[in-house]
Copies of this chain bind each other. A is one copy, B any other.
Amino acid sequence: MVKPTRVENRIRALRFAHGELTQADLAERIGVTRQTVIAIEQGKYSPSLEVAFQIARVFGVPLDDVFQYPDGA
């Protein structure tokens, strides 16, 4: 990562709020690998828009509910 993400997410919280969903389970549901889920959850990098949408869909919430882009520049 030459440039760490500025996008924050609530994936971990949402996972627990949805029946202790494990990272592996979530990964399978959104169609990515476990490592990808870990990296995104830890903010190693921001996901693509497609992956972001799928995550939001799994949790049944709007995208802005999962990811937040910090204010001013």
Contact = CB atoms under 8 A, between A and B. Distances in A.
Interface of A: 5-7, 46-50, 52-54, 57, 62-64, 67, 69
Number of copies of chain A assembled together? 2
A49 B64 contact: no
Contacts of A7: 49-50, 53
A46 B48 contact: yes
A69 B55 CA distance: 11
A69 B58 CA distance: 13
User: Which 9 pairs between the two chains have the least Cβ-Cβ distance?
Assistant: A53-B69, A46-B49, A49-B52, A63-B63, A62-B64, A46-B50, A63-B64, A7-B49, A47-B49
Nearest to A70: B53
